[in-house]
Amino acid sequence: SAPVIGLGRTALPEEIAAWNIDVRPDGEGLPAGAGSVRRGEDLFLQNCATCHGEFGEGAGRWPVLAGGRGTLQSDRPEKTIGSFWPYASTVFDYVRRAMPFGNNQSLTADDTYAIVAYLLNLNDLVPEDYVLSKDNFPKVELPNQPNFFDDDRETAEKAFWKNDPCMADCAGAVHVTARAQVLNVTPDADPPK
Amino acid sequence: MGAGAAAAGAGSAFGGAVAAAGPDPNIVPVPEWTKMLGAGVNANPYGKPSVFEKDVVRREVDWLTASHESSVSFTPLYALDGVITPNGLCFVRHHGGEAEIDPDKYRLMIHGMVDRPLVFTLEDIKRMPGRVNRAYFLECAANSGMEWRGAQLNGCQFTHGMIHNVFYTGVPLKTLLDMAGVNPKGKWVLAEGADAAVMTRSIPLEKAMQDCLVAFAMNGEALRPEQGYPVRLVVPGWEGNMWVKWLRRLKVGDQPWQQREETSKYTDLLADGRSRRFTFVMDAKSVVTSPSPQAPLKLKGPNVMSGIAWSGRGTIRRVDVSLDGGRNWTTARIEGPAMPMAMTRFYLDFDWSGQELMVQSRAMDDSGYVQPTKAELRAVRGTNSIYHNNGIQTWLVRGNGETENVEVG
C-alpha cells in the first residue's frame, strides 16, 4: 500500500544511532571497544556490587548473576548468566541499556565490555587475564544455549484441546491438599496509606 | 448487617418476604442525605469513587520483588464487575519505574530493514487514518506464577490480579510499518520503551502486521502514565510484557534480538531443565471473583457467583462452574460482550444453604482449548516455569462463608 503523505519525517542517521543500541547474538550492534576482566572487577565493585554482591552472588533479593550451574533440574533452580542465559550478547545489551539500576546508560562501551568480561569470569567461562572485545565477542558461548526451544504448547499440550470435557462424576473423592492461610504471606486488607 | 436483614435473606430463598420486627432506622426517620444539599456539580473536576469504596485499590506484595520500581501491583478483581477495568485500578508492572513523558517531546522512531526510516510525533499518530477502538485483556505472563508450587496468596487480587481489560484507541501498527516500507527480508520487529528499563521485545512481523495497535487512549481518555502515556503497544492475546509502554522505537530485522526479557525472563523452565522461549500466547483461563477470599459469602439463600474468563487464542465460548471441587460441573451464564482476546464475564445464580463449597471455574475458547487443572499443567511442565499458569483455581467456602485459596486432589 502507498505510504501516507504528510505524516512523520525521515529519521536522521545520528537520531537512529542515539537509540539503536541493541545487540544480537551474531554480534550485530556491538560498538567498537574492549575491556579486561581486571578492569571489569574494579567497575563492578564501584557500580554493581552493592546490589549484586562482590562476586555476583546477589545481595538480599537482588538478582544473582553467577553460579547455579547444574541446578536447572533441581527443586530450586538458580538461574544466572552462567547457568541459564543463552547468549552473552544479552548481557552486553542489557547492562548498557538498563544498568546500573537507577543510573542507567552511564557506562561507556569499554566499561560495558569490561563488566561483561568480569561477569563471564565470575561464571568460570573466561580466565582472569581475558580481554573481551567486539572482535572476539561472537566466539563467546554460554553453556545453556542449546537448552532453549520454541513454544511447543500446541503439540506438547494438545490434550488440552477437547470438545467435551467431563461434566458429571468426573473425579473420585476430592480433598483439600494445600491451603494459602497456612503460609500467611498475603498483605493485610488495609489499603495502602 | 442486622439480624433482621439476615432473616430476610434466609427467608427470601423460599420466595417470600419476612416481616420486620420494627421500622428500619434507615427508612424512618428521613436520612441526612435527603434533608441537606450535597456537593456541587464540579466539587470534583475529575471524579473519584465513593469514600465507602476506599479499600478498592491496587495492592503490592512487598516480599515479591527487590524494589518498588521493578515490581507489580494487582487489580482488585474481587470488587469489580462487568468486563471493563477502571483505568485507575489497572494493575501496574514497571521494570524501571514510571516514566513521565511530555507529550510534546514524545517521539516514535521506525528504522532497520525499512525503505524509509521515520520519526513520528504524537500529533502525527493522532492524525493517522484508520483509527480503531478495540477491547483486549492484558495479562502479565507471571499472573498466578506464585501459585505454581501450591496455594500461596489468599485472594484473587493476588492470585489473578495481574490483568486488566480496557478499550484501546489507536492505529494499527501495520499502518506505521507500511509508511516505512518493510523490506521483504524483515521477519521480526523490536519494540522498545522510553522508560529507565528501556524495555525491548522481539515480535514476529506476522503478528505486528496482523492486529497489534499503537494506542494513545484507554477507556476513552489518554493512557495513564503508569500504562505508558502517551503511547503504548497493544499485542492482543499475548503476554503483557510485550505490550511495550512509553513506546519509542520499532526496528525491523530478519531475526529475533534475544533480549533480556525473552531469554533470562519470559522463558519457561521445564522439569527436565530445558526451557521454552517465545511463549507469546496467554491460554484460556478463568477465575471466580466472588465468592473469593476477599469477597466471602455473607448470607445464605440466593447468591450470585461472578467471575471472568479470557483467552489469547480467541473468544470464550463457554465457562463451566463446579461447587464440589471439579466432580460435577454446571455451565455458567456469559453476560455482556464475549469478544476475541478480551475479558468475558460469567455468572451462576445459586442457592447456598451454608454447606462447604469447593468452587472452581473452567473456561473453553473457540479454538477448542479447555482450561486445564494445575495438576495437568504440572504434569507437563513441572513447578519452576514461573509464567503461564492458567490452571483451574479452587476456592474453599466454609460454612460461615469465609473463603480460602486451596488446592484439591
Check CB contact of B71 with chain A, cutoff 8 Å. Answer: no
Task: Supply the pLDDT for residue B172.
Answer: 98
Check CB contact of A1 with chain B, cutoff 8 Å. Answer: yes
Q: How much is the pTM?
A: 0.94
| Among candidate residues B369, B368, B365, B362, the one with its CA nearest the CA of residue B391 | B362
Contact B208, B220 (CB under 8 A): no
Arithmetic mean of pLDDT over chain B: 95
Return the H-helix or E-strand segment holding B10.
helix B3-12
Contact B203, B189 (CB under 8 A): yes
Distance to chain B for A39, nearest Cα, Å: 24
Task: Determine the angle formed by the axes of helices A37-47 and A109-122, rounding to 10 degrees.
Answer: 100
Q: Which three cell numbers stand for residue A145?
A: 544455549
Task: Supply the pLDDT for residue A184.
Answer: 79
Distance to chain B for A35, nearest Cα, Å: 21
The pLDDT confidence band at residue A171, using thresholds 50, 70 and 90, is confident
Task: Supply the pLDDT for residue A192.
Answer: 47
Residue A153 to residue B324, Cβ atoms within 8 A: no
Residue A191: pLDDT over 80 = no
Cα–Cα distance, B323 to B3 (Å, whole number): 27
Residue among B67, B278, B325 whose CB faces A174 most closely: B325
Cα–Cα distance, B215 to B193 (Å, whole number): 13
Residue B159: pLDDT over 90 = yes
Q: Which residues contact B206 (CB under 8 A, 6 or more apart)?
A: none
Residue A4: pLDDT over 70 = no
User: In A, which residues are within 8 Å of B253 by CB distance?
Assistant: 24
Residue A94 to residue B273, Cβ atoms within 8 A: no
Distance to chain A for B300, nearest Cα, Å: 23
Provide ipTM, 2 decimals. Answer: 0.94
Residue B154 DSSP one-character state:
S
In the stretch 315-374 of chain B, residues with CB closer than 8 A to chain A read: 320, 324-329, 358, 362, 364, 367-372
User: In B, which residues are within 8 Å of A101 by CB distance?
Assistant: 67, 69-70, 96
Check CB contact of B190 with chain A, cutoff 8 Å. Answer: yes
- To test the contact with chain A by mutation, choose from B264, B274, B323, B400 the residue with the greatest count of A C-beta atoms within 10 A, namely B264
Residue tagged 464440589 (cell numbers): B324
Residue A180 to residue B109, Cβ atoms within 8 A: no
Check CB contact of A108 with chain B, cutoff 8 Å. Answer: no
Q: Give one DSSP letter per residue of A38-99, joined into a string.
A: HHHHHHHHHHTHHHH-TTS--STTSPP-S--TT-TTSSS----TTTT-S-HHHHHHHHHHH-
* Averaged pLDDT for residues B217-226: 98
Check CB contact of B151 with chain A, cutoff 8 Å. Answer: yes
- To test the contact with chain A by mutation, choose from B123, B198, B313 the residue with the greatest count of A C-beta atoms within 10 A, namely B198
Task: Supply the pLDDT for residue B11.
Answer: 43
User: In B, which residues are within 8 Å of A15 by CB distance?
Assistant: 109, 119
Cα–Cα distance, B184 to B387 (Å, whole number): 33
A43-72 tens-digit pLDDT: 999 999 999 999 999 998 999 999 999 999
| A190 to chain B: closest CA residue | B55
User: In A, which residues are within 8 Å of B62 by CB distance?
Assistant: 187
Task: Supply the pLDDT for residue B5.
Answer: 39
Q: Which residues contact A157 (CB under 8 A, 6 or more apart)?
A: B372, B380
Task: Supply the pLDDT for residue A6.
Answer: 81
Distance to chain A for B364, nearest Cα, Å: 9
A112-161 tens-digit pLDDT: 999 999 999 999 999 999 999 999 998 999 999 999 999 999 999 999 99
The sheet with strand A9-10 has its strands ordered as A9-10, B118-121, B107-112, B247-253, B188-193, B200-204
Residue B14: pLDDT over 60 = no
User: In A, which residues are within 8 Å of B279 by CB distance?
Assistant: 151, 153
Residue among A94, A149, A187 whose CB faces B260 most closely: A94
Distance to chain B for A181, nearest Cα, Å: 7
Check CB contact of A9 with chain B, cutoff 8 Å. Answer: yes
Per the model's pLDDT, the better-predicted residue between A185 and B318 turns out to be B318
User: In B, which residues are within 8 Å of A166 by CB distance?
Assistant: 329
Residue B83 pairs in a beta bridge with none
Task: Supply the pLDDT for residue B62.
Answer: 87
In the stretch 133-192 of chain A, residues with CB closer than 8 A to chain B read: 147-153, 156-157, 159-163, 165-171, 174-181, 183, 185-187, 189-192
Distance to chain A for B33, nearest Cα, Å: 27
Task: Supply the pLDDT for residue A5.
Answer: 66
| A10 to chain B: closest CA residue | B118
In the stretch 120-139 of chain A, residues with CB closer than 8 A to chain B read: none
Check CB contact of B46 with chain A, cutoff 8 Å. Answer: no
In the stretch 166-185 of chain B, residues with CB closer than 8 A to chain A read: 175, 178-181
- To test the contact with chain B by mutation, choose from A78, A80, A153 the residue with the greatest count of B C-beta atoms within 10 A, namely A153
Cα–Cα distance, B223 to B340 (Å, whole number): 22
* Averaged pLDDT for residues B316-340: 97
Residue A22 to residue B259, Cβ atoms within 8 A: yes
Residue A149 to residue B370, Cβ atoms within 8 A: no
What percent of chain B is modeled with pLDDT above 90? 93
Distances (CA, A) of B330 to B55, B81, B327, B361, B408: 32, 21, 10, 9, 19
| B376 to chain A: closest CA residue | A160
The Cβ of residue B341 has, within 10 Å, a number of other Cβ atoms equal to 25
Check CB contact of B155 with chain A, cutoff 8 Å. Answer: yes
The phi and psi torsions of A90 (rounded to 5 degrees) equal -65, -35
